[in-house]
Chain A
């Protein structure tokens, strides 16, 4: 009943706020800028219940108070973003093209290099062909199977309606709307994302992926993902497609929240390849992402693996809050920056429970004029008896115009805790390149091989299909970095 009332209220909201935007609604685009009406507009577009709208508005009002709190501590340089100069709800439909012939051949060349099958190329390019529908029905088949097992896997906008009790309980419980400038903005204006619930004791038999879902419903730049693994369950989730986005300097401020209850395990893998801008640093995505997982239950485990090759600017620290006794957090990262790209990325491992363990393996690769920073925090709370952390940060430099920086923070409030930190910085040597080339590899193959070797420990934590793609991506993103 409550839901019905809320829906009715939402409908009223739609009626109420639609007048100002008549033409815009038809073109499926909110006016430029950000204000409460825009937040209401987005909520109305999603036909959201009142409580969801209220939450968004709370976040928005809080965000207004943060005007001077846009984070500046990261080693990143970019012009101040004018938040009134963007669209917060643009039609998610991309331009529909009649066939692959109309797609930029350079884009297709990249897909080919990535080994993405033709069908997926068509999907990624937004080509309206029948095959896409075939593929959607394939996805639906899986969905049905998953449903039978009790897995909930759907757009978060749909979950708001179908599973409001779960969304209400967990949304914002790991990343509250007051968390940080970008996360707060996301709370106010998020457009869509994934919702996953794995029921008690179920080992989800297939990798869940945004791959097909994103194609099914082109989500915006403010994604919101919420994954809950109930007691004793397991899920492996893959995020992001490897398609380069063609967008110009755009803000991408996603929030991901993971919750692992007793004995549950979540493995979250990302391959991020948003458009990095051109060689001179023009264009590209500003990727300001808040990802955090809570190991709420005892013996729970959250493992983040990320391969970050895209974006002009990456600001991202997938973290674990280790609340449950004997819970485990792991973070494996490869961050590649080339040309004028900048990345400030790492993790936070917050040990609260007894016997909690965390492991951090970070591989940063810089080429061109790029800057790459590992920034990490290991915090051991007073009650975290016997907590352990192992951190390994390796940086690889290609050329002499780029930078690698390591900023590890360790705070221990428990004398029984053990933390270890190892860091190395190395360069691809001329000797290594010549050696590979003397065996017949061209320079790009040689760089790709050497860098893949450097990242191996991280790449091998990815699910098989993803690992192959990631290896190729490593090579592609460093093309032209030597000589």
Chain B
């Protein structure tokens, strides 16, 4: 059984069908990349999996370890192990990154029947994780995402991912707005989280990110459907030839 199964998923926004039957299987340990032109449903797919309001699933299933993800509320999905790294991380004024991380971590621990982490252990853990990711520890004292540069926001996303240790991590255009140095830091962070029991769904516009996070499978999404699937060489081919032929086929 795949870790995450997406079966014939159809979803609409405001009555307009965006996803028109997506089927994907993510096995544990795999990294899947989804590429495609703008407006083809890439972000819709990540939002539907994560459970954001405003999307109506009209058909199909999403299963995590065989459990019906679509029946769960957004926070239950998160606690079950689905993590979404946001394309546009949200500012939470007055809430330090540290306080946010601790609240999130404790929500997860409670769901797992563990007791809440105490303040000292928490700080030790954050210290260790920021060191691994090569991030300045002081970042956790700042209000989450408030006044963060594009690179800092994405790093904060990776830090959260590292702390929460999800089963399935979805990266929604994590490379957007990053310079090459930030891209490298973020990619290193993601790579350090690759493990045999975790799967990644990396949504991106450009092949560039996939030089750093090397995928096992690449899917081309166009007009709400998976138009092609291949290995990492497919990404290079797309980079060279563009998406034109998939759009034509779809039309």
A439 and B107 within 8 A (CB) = yes
Contacts of A452 in B (CB 8 A): 94-95
A434 and B95 within 8 A (CB) = no
Query: How far does the alpha carbon of A450 sit from the alpha carbon of B95 in the complex, in Å?
Result: 7
Given known pairs A438-B84, A449-B100, the reply for A443 and B75 (CB within 8 Å) is yes
Which stretch (A61-69, A110-118, A146-154, A454-462) binds chain B? A454-462
Q: Which residue of B lies closest to A363 (CB)?
A: B94
Interface residues on A, range: 20 to 34
- Interface membership of B227, Cβ < 8 A: no
- Closest Cβ–Cβ distance, residue A454 to chain B (whole Å): 6
- Interface membership of B74, Cβ < 8 A: yes
Query: How far does the alpha carbon of A430 sit from the alpha carbon of B79 in the complex, in Å?
Result: 19
- Interface membership of A202, Cβ < 8 A: no
Contacts of A431 in B (CB 8 A): 90
A439 and B94 within 8 A (CB) = no
A453 and B53 within 8 A (CB) = no
Please report which residues of chain A, range 413-469, place their CB below 8 angstroms from some CB of chain B when the two chains form the complex: 429-432, 434-443, 445-446, 449-450, 452-457
Query: How far does the alpha carbon of A446 sit from the alpha carbon of B164 in the complex, in Å?
Result: 17
Query: How far does the alpha carbon of A431 sit from the alpha carbon of B93 in the complex, in Å?
Result: 13
Query: How far does the alpha carbon of A200 sit from the alpha carbon of B160 in the complex, in Å?
Result: 53
A442 and B93 within 8 A (CB) = no
- Interface membership of B103, Cβ < 8 A: yes
Contacts of B86 in A (CB 8 A): 435, 438
A449 and B95 within 8 A (CB) = yes
Contacts of B51 in A (CB 8 A): 437-438
B75 and A442 within 8 A (CB) = yes
A449 and B164 within 8 A (CB) = no
- Interface membership of B89, Cβ < 8 A: yes
Please report which residues of chain A, range 301-348, place their CB below 8 angstroms from some CB of chain B when the two chains form the complex: none
Of the residues B78, B111, B143, contact of A439 by C-beta under 8 Å: B78
Query: How far does the alpha carbon of A439 sit from the alpha carbon of B79 in the complex, in Å?
Result: 8
B108 and A440 within 8 A (CB) = yes
A449 and B75 within 8 A (CB) = no
Query: How far does the alpha carbon of A456 sit from the alpha carbon of B94 in the complex, in Å?
Result: 6
Given known pairs A430-B53, A435-B90, A453-B92, the reply for A441 and B75 (CB within 8 Å) is yes
- Interface membership of B208, Cβ < 8 A: no
B95 and A439 within 8 A (CB) = no
- Closest Cβ–Cβ distance, residue A453 to chain B (whole Å): 3
Query: How far does the alpha carbon of A243 sit from the alpha carbon of B182 in the complex, in Å?
Result: 50
B92 and A449 within 8 A (CB) = yes
- Interface membership of B104, Cβ < 8 A: yes
Q: Which residue of B lies closest to A453 (CB)?
A: B94
B92 and A439 within 8 A (CB) = no
Pairs of residues from A and B, 3 with the lowest C-beta to C-beta distance, nearest first: A453-B94, A453-B95, A439-B104
16 additional contacts (CB under 8 A) given A437-B78, A446-B75, A449-B92:
A434-B74, A435-B86, A435-B92, A438-B52, A438-B78, A438-B83, A439-B100, A439-B164, A440-B108, A441-B75, A449-B95, A449-B103, A453-B95, A454-B93, A456-B95, A457-B94
